[in-house]
């Protein structure tokens, strides 16, 4: 398991001492404990994903506490490749452990309030950044694949390892939470230090913030010092299942794909540029005075320069659910099976209101890419930091 100690977070816990009292932890304890980030956020992205959400059925907060204790204990053992008698058999552990497994837990809005009910007396501790996302232009969110009171992001170097961990965790949830929706994903191997390509064939993740720089990570990724004490060392996850109309995309000329993306397909360079990591050509115009990167180009609309500096940390995966039956909305209005595939968009950020929502509000209206993509599901989750030796969520749940 990867320990990343944030000096800022530790300082924040001191500064917010009153807050720690609120959370039922003594100031001395908070100060002396080391806060750690959950793995799977700032750690290297493993190539296979199993993302699973749950609806809580637990009636009492103690049941949620017991679940998070069981999950944390099992997750620590799974990530360390250890056997847990009666839970992780030596037979199952063999070959499934040393694959870079990371398990990340998140709390959805439903933990705090659901159908108007404050089931666990936690509503007052719902952080402001966990405000429900607005409905975006074009959203086609399917209820059965949206929301969730809890989430588990399981990532590993092997799909079986990622799935095996989720099976163990799901079995531990019996009686307290039931699976709501799941999405698996993969990241193709284009070699180390190369930006992977998504299913559209374009490089994906070129402008990700450099979170190895603590200043950038503290500004973009980790909960703000003024956020609730229990979220210190934590972050917020926006998950969106973004279906791509691949048959439609594959019929487009590369030149049109590039205009839509606002980047060149093979190199990843900006339109008119040469290298993947050159600045976008947002101001440049052609001899007729038209911008060489289209106003509605995806890369332009995603750029911090066009969003008052807003940035998020993308950890996206390709997803592929085989076929599903659809009726096309464009010529030749064909009915039949199409690829049910696209992007499992996972983005971590300090505050979704100034991160994902800030960026996607305009994008959902103007992005030329929208004719090829549809958001069909997803969720919003708070992924807290964790006290060393404690369980995930302890600083929230033990009031």
105 sits near its own copies (criterion: CB under 8 A): no
Answer for which of 183, 232, 307, 311 binds its own copies (CB under 8 A) is: 183
Residue 77: enclosing H or E segment and its boundaries?
helix 61-80
Cis status, amide bond into 334, omega within 30 of 0: no
Min dist CB 372 to its own copies, Å, is: 14
Counting contacts by CB under 8 A, is residue 2 touching its own copies? no
Among 26, 62, 171, 213, binds its own copies (CB under 8 A): 171
- Are 198 and 316 in contact by the 8 Å Cβ rule? The answer is yes
List 189, 286, 288, 308, residue binding its own copies (CB under 8 A): 189
- Tell which one of 322, 327, 333, 389 touches its own copies (CB under 8 A): 322
Least distance (Å) between residue 104 CB and its own copies? 18
The C-alpha atoms of residue 40 and residue 315 are separated, in whole angstroms, by 9
DSSP secondary-structure letter at 210?
-
- Per CB under 8 A, does 119 bind its own copies? no
Q: How many CA atoms lie within 13 A of 382 on its CB side?
A: 32
* Rg of the chain taking only CA atoms, in angstroms: 22
Does residue number 210 form part of the binding site for its own copies (CB under 8 A)? no
Of 103 and 228, the one with the shorter C-beta distance to its own copies is 103
Is residue 272 within the footprint of its own copies (CB under 8 A)? no
Evaluate whether 61 touches 122 at the Cβ level (below 8 Å): yes
Separation between Cα atoms, residue 395 and residue 387, nearest integer Å = 8
Question: Residue 147 and residue 341: Cα distance in Å, rounded?
Answer: 20
The site string for its own copies over 279-318 (x = CB under 8 A, - otherwise) reads ---------------------------------------x
CA angle 1, 149, 21 (to 5 degrees): 70
Is 266 within 8 Å of 201 (Cβ atoms)?
no
33 to 92, contacts with its own copies by CB under 8 A?
50, 52, 89-92
Can you tell me which of 6, 153, 161, 206 binds its own copies, judged by CB under 8 A?
Answer: 161
CB 298 within 8 A of CB 262: yes
Binding stretches for its own copies (CB under 8 A) = 50, 52, 89-92, 94-96, 144, 157-161, 163, 167-168, 170-171, 178-184, 186, 188-191, 194, 197, 199, 201, 246-247, 250-251, 254, 265-266, 318, 320-323, 325, 336-339, 341
């Amino acid at each position: 398991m990867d320990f990343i100690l944030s000096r800022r977070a530790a300082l924040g816990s001191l500064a917010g001492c009153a807050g720690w009292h609120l959370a039922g932890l003594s100031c001395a304890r908070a100060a002396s404990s080391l806060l750690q980030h959950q793995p799977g956020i700032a750690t290297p992205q493993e190539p296979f994903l199993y993302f699973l959400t749950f609806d809580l059925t637990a009636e009492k907060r103690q049941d949620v506490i017991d679940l998070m204790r069981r999950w944390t204990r099992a997750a620590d053992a799974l990530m360390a490749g250890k056997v847990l008698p009666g839970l992780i058999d030596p037979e199952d552990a063999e070959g499934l452990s040393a694959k870079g497994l990371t398990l990340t837990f998140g709390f959805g809005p439903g933990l705090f309030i659901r159908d108007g009910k404050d089931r666990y007396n936690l509503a007052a501790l719902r952080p402001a950044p966990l405000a429900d996302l607005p409905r975006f232009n074009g959203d086609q969110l399917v209820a059965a694949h949206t929301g969730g009171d809890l989430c588990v992001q399981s990532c590993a170097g092997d799909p079986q390892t990622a799935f095996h961990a989720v099976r163990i965790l799901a079995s531990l949830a019996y009686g307290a939470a039931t699976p709501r929706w799941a999405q698996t994903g993969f990241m193709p191997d284009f070699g180390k230090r190369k930006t992977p390509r998504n299913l559209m064939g374009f490089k994906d993740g070129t402008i990700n913030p450099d979170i190895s720089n603590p200043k950038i990570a503290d500004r973009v990724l980790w909960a703000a010092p003024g956020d609730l004490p229990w979220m210190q060392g934590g972050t917020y996850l926006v998950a969106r299942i973004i279906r791509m109309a691949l048959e439609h995309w594959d019929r487009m000329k590369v030149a049109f794909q590039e205009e839509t993306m606002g980047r060149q397909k093979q190199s990843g360079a900006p339109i008119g540029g040469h290298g993947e990591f050159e600045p976008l050509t947002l101001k440049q115009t052609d001899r007729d005075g038209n911008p060489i990167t289209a106003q509605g180009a995806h890369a332009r609309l995603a750029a911090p320069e066009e969003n008052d500096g807003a940035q998020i940390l993308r950890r996206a995966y390709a997803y592929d659910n085989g076929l599903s039956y659809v009726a096309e909305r464009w010529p030749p209005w064909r009915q039949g099976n199409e690829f049910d595939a696209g992007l499992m968009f996972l983005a971590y950020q300090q505050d979704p209101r100034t991160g994902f929502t800030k960026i996607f509000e305009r994008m959902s209206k103007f992005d030329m890419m929208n004719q090829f993509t549809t958001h069909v599901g997803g969720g919003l989750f708070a992924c807290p930091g964790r006290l060393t030796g404690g369980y995930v969520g302890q600083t929230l749940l033990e009031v």
